[in-house]
Structure 1
Amino acid sequence: MCKRLLILAIAVLCPMLVLLGLLNSHLQAAGGPAVLIDAVLYDGYESGDADEAVRIRNVSDGPVDISGWQVNDGESSTAVIPLTTTLASGQAIWLAKEGAAFQRQFGFAPDFERTDTLPSVPDLDGSWPSLANTGDQVLLRDAANALIDCLGYESNPDEDCGSGWVGTAVSPYTPNTSFASDGQILYRARDPQTGQPLPDSDRATDWAQGNADVSDGRKVQFPGWDLDQFFWTTQVTETAVLTIAIAPDNAYQAIVNQIASAQTSIQIETQTFENVGIADALLAARQRGVAVTILMEAEPAGGVSDQERYICQLLADAGAHCWFMFNESNQDIFDRYTFLHAKFILIDGQRVLISQRKSQPTQSAR
Structure 2
Amino acid sequence: MIDSLREIQHILNLPELKFAELHSVRWLSMECAVGAMFRSYPALAMCLEQEAVLDATAKGLFCEVSQYKFIATMHMLMDVLPFIERLSKNFQHDSLDFSKVQPLVDSLKDLCDVPGEFITKLEEFTVNCDGDTMYSRPVSESSSEAVRLRIQNNYKFEGFEDSEEEEEDEVEDCSFKPILKYYQQQKDSVTKTFSNYIEMVVENIQDRFQDSQVLNAINALVPKNISGSKSVAMFGNDDVKILVKQFKKHLLSSTECLNEYRQYKNLVSGSYKTETLEAITRTIITKYHDEFPNMTILLKCCTVIPMNSVKCERGFSTQNRIMTRLQTRMNNKTLDDLMTISEEGPSMNEFDFSRALTKWKAEKVRKLNK
TM-score (norm 2): 0.23
Between Structure 1 and Structure 2, whose CA radius of gyration is higher?
Answer: 2
TM-score (norm 1): 0.23
The structure whose residues are more often strand, as a share, is 1
The structure whose residues are more often helix, as a share, is 2
